[in-house]
Amino acid sequence: MRSIEQAFEPRPVFRPVRAQRSPARLTRRGRLVIVLGTLLVLLLAAFALGRVASQAAGPSRPLPTVTVQPGETLWQIAGRVTSHVDRRVLVGEIEQLNHLSGGHVVVGQQLRLPR
């Protein structure tokens, strides 16, 4: 059994001997991978920043508009505005762009058109 004085005496600390490692060396392939990885990250960051900047700027010019005439429907407006686009797609885009529900329009209403 140990005495109380021995309990508070510092014990020697044994540390295992570590093997000496040589510093890590990069091979030519390793340097190439690091350079290409860094370039890829920078390229992706540039695209992301460019996209955010272009979205923040908004459209460069206002969207074209059309005024609803008496008795006119979205289908007729889509046919009047363009003939080379599928009318179903254009009606859906006009509804979405103008926040219309059910495709109901009022005479004199200004509708924004997709480009």
How far apart (Å, rounded) are the C-alpha atoms in residues 111 and 83?
18
Express each pLDDT in 50-89 by its tens digit: 776 665 555 567 888 999 999 999 999 988 888 788 889 9
pLDDT at residue 27, rounded to an integer: 92
Q: Which distant-in-sequence residues (6+ apart) come within 8 Å of 106 by Cβ?
A: 68
Q: Using the structure block, give the residue that is written with the tokens 């860094």.
A: 38
Residue 3 above 70 pLDDT?
no
pLDDT at residue 44, rounded to an integer: 93
Fold designation for 65-112: Membrane-bound Lytic Murein Transglycosylase D; Chain A (3.10.350)
The pTM of the whole model exceeds 0.75: no
Task: Say whether 30 sits in a helix, a strand or coil.
Answer: helix
Average pLDDT, stretch 92-112? Answer: 89
Average pLDDT, stretch 98-109? Answer: 88
